[in-house]
Amino acid sequence: MPIRRKPSPAALAPLPDPTEDSRDWRLSAACIGLPEHAVLGTDRTAALPALAACEHCPIIAPCLAIVDPEHTWFDGVSGGRLWRNGREVTVRSGIDTPEEQS
């Protein structure tokens, strides 16, 4: 069983108020302003708005690197992918299933 690491503080910190003058990388995220359940949920249907936003997001690589879903057992959308317990969720016959890990 993998050792569970604590998520990085950057991954857990609440998003800053977009009206504040900040250089926070998350302010460039295409998903900013989406409901929390769309970004941090494990249900694919609820995550569709966040996944669609990822398609034109300028910070996909930093999002994936900082959230580090595989090592933080992240649940939600990061880097254009949906994660459940740190495993990428794929869709097979309309059912959300974690990918098989080798």
CA–CA gap between residue 17 and residue 32 (Å, rounded): 10
Chunked into runs of 10 residues, the chain (102 residues) has average pLDDT values of 51 52 73 93 89 93 91 93 92 47 42
- The pTM (predicted TM-score) of the whole model is 0.66
Burial class of residue 20 in the structure, from the number of CB atoms within 10 Å of its CB (0-12 exposed, 13-18 middle, 19+ buried) = exposed
